A = this chain, B = another copy of it.
Amino acid sequence: MAMMDINNMIVIIDAIGAFVFAISGIRMAANKGFDLFGAFVVGFATAIGGGTLRDLLLGVTPVWMTNSIYVSMTILALVFVVVFRKRLIHMNVTFFIFDTFGLALYTVVGIEKTLAYDFPWWVPIAMGTMGGAAGGIIRDVLLAEVPLIFKKEIYATACILGGVIFFICDSLGANQLVSGFVCAGVVVVSRVLAVRYGISIPKLKKED
């Protein structure tokens, strides 16, 4: 696959990722009785929240402020939810698949973006995980709900696992492209397997 094709593929997954992230926010906003504006903000925050937090911490301009794809995809997602409202529930498997690809891509993007700076190894992993998973936390805070990913399924943990694998590949001499692909593969496979076999992270026991 030529470099050009990879770049095109990244642009497409990025857009689809933003789209399904926004849809998850907009659907939850709709079920809370939000209006169109509220739904837009929650959808947008879900799509760009993780990357924005990452970019603020890195001290760089948040990516949505220079690239129009995130605003456009959120508007498209809003129209999509309004039009296909009754059929959305039948698309959950499709959403799951694209959400997982988006998660994987945002993880790799977060890691590679952070590698451009001189931070210790846990920072790129944290930034990759944030880029992938923090949007969902911000969505839930805006909905005044306990963040879903703190209680359910393997989600952010797949990003952390992918991040660790990235650094193992790197230390074995792989280049960033290969490490990135392996990392993304690990995120996708570990999330899919976790959901398929009902694997989740142990809960902490309550004190009483």
Which stretch (A9-17, A79-87, A176-184) binds chain B? A79-87
**Does residue A196 face the partner (Cβ distance < 8 Å to B)?**
no
Complex-state Cα separation, A147 to B89, whole angstroms:
26
- Considering the complex, which residues of chain A in the window 149-170 have a beta carbon less than 8 Å from any beta carbon of chain B? 149-151, 156-157, 160
Task: Contact check, A30 vs B65: say whether CB atoms are below 8 A apart.
Answer: no
Task: Contact check, A206 vs B150: say whether CB atoms are below 8 A apart.
Answer: no
Main DSSP-derived SS at the A contact region: helix
Task: Contact check, B57 vs A59: say whether CB atoms are below 8 A apart.
Answer: no
In this complex, how many residues of chain A approach chain B with their Cβ under 8 Å: the count is: 58
Task: Contact check, B35 vs A201: say whether CB atoms are below 8 A apart.
Answer: yes
Which stretch (A93-101, A102-110, A119-127, A185-193) binds chain B? A119-127
CB-nearest residue of chain B to A38: B150
- Considering the complex, which residues of chain A in the window 14-40 have a beta carbon less than 8 Å from any beta carbon of chain B? 26-27, 29-39
Task: Contact check, B37 vs A207: say whether CB atoms are below 8 A apart.
Answer: no
Q: Which of B32, B38, B157 contacts A37 (CB 8 A)?
A: B157
CB of A82, distance to nearest CB on chain B (Å) = 7
Complex-state Cα separation, A170 to B205, whole angstroms:
48
Complex-state Cα separation, A32 to B147, whole angstroms:
11
Residue from A65, A71, A143 having most chain B Cβ neighbours under 10 A: A65
Task: Contact check, B151 vs A207: say whether CB atoms are below 8 A apart.
Answer: no
Q: What are 10 inter-chain pairs, A to B, with CB distance below 8 A?
A: A30-B205, A30-B207, A34-B204, A35-B200, A35-B201, A35-B202, A36-B202, A37-B201, A65-B123, A86-B207
Sample of 5 further A-B pairs with CB below 8 A, known A31-B207, A35-B151, A137-B142:
A57-B62, A59-B61, A65-B123, A66-B119, A66-B120
